[in-house]
Amino acid sequence: MPTTGHIGRIAVVGESSIGSGVRRIDALVGDGAYGYQAKEHALVSQLSTMVGGRPEDPPERVEGLMTRLKDAEKRLAAAEQAALAARTADIVSDAVRVGEVRLASANLGSVGSADAVRSLALDARSRLGDLEPAVVAVGAVLNSRPVVVVATNGGARDQGIRAGALVRTAAQALGGGGGGKDDLAQGGGQNPEALGEALRPSPTRSRPDSATSPRTLSRSRDRLISPTGSGRLPDRSATRLRRRKRHVLVSLVAIRTRSRLFLW
């Protein structure tokens, strides 16, 4: 360049740090700068037309619109929470009995937040009370992805039923995973169409020897601890012990029979 005047207009488009005490400035010069500023002017004019007002008004107008949008989202979330809370009574009344446990499950459909699903599960568990073992399993679709929440009361946990284990089982049907605490857990997956199947108690789940039944969930605990609190051997060891007892009993009978024959 013979002189700096030949550069023409300069439009700075970016600035960044590339080292200690060193800054990088990105800019357009000449025709590129004129074209960039023309696009900016057209964008500001279009935005002013959309929000209404003069070219210098869009920042305040956009801030006001964002505030109103946030307030609307809060009101929508509150309305959704109230609608879900109204369904809690029906979910509790429709609870079914699976073995010795009351199971309250429901598919809530599309929701706006997972917090609403967790709140409903906790509310339903509270309404079921602690007089008998109870499990609450609710599912929903959040942003096109299935979500499942499981809550258990004290009676269910005493029988070895853990919310985290149940959530992992349901999440496998959804093509995902999950986990949590023994009293409350959450999971999800990729297939929202399988949500109903994940929440439905199947016949295999209802059998006492099922992997998801209350009896089986506490099987490992019951094998080591009897209902009276005394320890007992696992099933295989108990079977071998019973066989040995029968063998000893047969041997004693044979010895007594031989003794009688000899005395006679």
The residue that leads in pLDDT, 247 or 61, is 61
Q: Is the pLDDT of residue 201 over 90?
A: no
DSSP 190: S
pLDDT value for 135: 92
How crowded is residue 172: how many other Cβ atoms within 10 Å of its Cβ? 15
Using the Cα atoms of residue 231, residue 235, residue 241 and residue 245 in order, give the sign of their dihedral.
positive
Q: Is the pLDDT of residue 184 over 70?
A: yes
Q: Is the pLDDT of residue 236 over 60?
A: no
pLDDT value for 254: 54
Q: What is the mean pLDDT of residues 97-101?
A: 87
Query: Average pLDDT, whole number, for the chain?
Result: 76
Closest by alpha carbon to 151, among 169, 160, 138?
Answer: 138
The residue that leads in pLDDT, 233 or 36, is 36
Helix (H, G, I), strand (E, B) or coil at 200: coil
Calpha distance 216→208 (Å, rounded): 7
pLDDT value for 244: 65
CB 11 within 8 A of CB 37: yes
Tens digit of pLDDT for each residue in 124-178? 898 888 889 999 998 888 888 899 999 999 989 988 888 888 888 888 888 888 8
Work out the percent of the chain whose per-residue pLDDT is above 70. Answer: 75
pLDDT value for 211: 39
Q: What is the mean pLDDT of residues 39-53?
A: 85
Q: What is the mean pLDDT of residues 191-200?
A: 82
pLDDT value for 238: 60
Q: Is the pLDDT of residue 115 over 50?
A: yes
pLDDT value for 237: 57
pLDDT value for 246: 65
Rounded to 5°, the CA angle 242-244-245 comes to: 65
Tens digit of pLDDT for each residue in 214-233? 333 333 333 223 333 334 43
- Predicted TM-score (pTM) of this structure: 0.55
The residue that leads in pLDDT, 236 or 74, is 74
Q: Which residues lie closer than 8 Å to 53 by C-beta, 6 or more apart?
A: 61
Q: Is the pLDDT of residue 40 over 80?
A: yes
